[in-house]
Structure 1
Amino acid sequence: MHGRFEMSLMGEMKFFLGLQIHQSPCGIFINQAKYTLEILHKHGMKKGQSIGTPMAMKPKLDADLSGNPVDQTDYRSKIGSLMYLTSSRPDIVFGLTAFSDVDHAGCIATRKSTSQGIQFLGDKLVSWMSKKQDWTAMSSAEAEYVALSASYAQVM
């Protein structure tokens, strides 16, 4: 490769873009243990405790009636860090699958459509819904979009 490209040999690669790299005769292995500890330290969660999924139900959060502004950059930083972390950690990514369908104009009296949706975490059913739509959809595409939106809201 030296003959075709200008390059320099800097030794065996140990780190690349936050990934720890270990090269052996058996293969190349990557992990992000150091990056994970940096995330926990950055967000003050070094003593964080793991919890199982699904998580325990807790009281719902209410709106902040005092109107205090929220620092969105901190939340976005945490989410972005976790998304990058999942690139090398398939064990922390949960397989969430959602299906939605609609019975377009199924109600004979009102011509309203019925939305249905189911959500799986791994291979376990965690949520389902079936609801008559609040308005009459003008097309099957519109009815499908409304059903998809309702199913997506369950996921989020």
Structure 2
Amino acid sequence: MYASSLHARFMHCPTSKHYQTAKRVLRYIKGTLDYGLEYVKGKNAMLIGLCDSDWGGSIEDSKSTSGYAFFFGSGVFSWASVTQNYVVLSTVEAKYIRSHYTGHLA
């Protein structure tokens, strides 16, 4: 999931390095096709939602990344990772902008 979202950032101008690493990700996916998520009826399942953001984590442009993931039982069913449009100067600003994308200010 992380590798795919990271590659998506470079779709507008990919290089041969991006092509090589994309092939590596596809080889990994091909080798893990039998993996899966299991939802067992009657087993105690809990809904969990997580969100977070970093502060200037991108080396290229110092922009922050916000993301969330929702889990039910043993598997994730929804996730997102978004590079923020602004360069922030503090962790408070990063959290404020994250709340715009995720609806949570924590």
TM-score (norm 2): 0.44
Structure 1 or 2, whichever has the larger Rg, is: 1
Structure with more relative contact order (C-alpha pairs < 8 Å, separation 6 or more):
2
More helix by share: 2
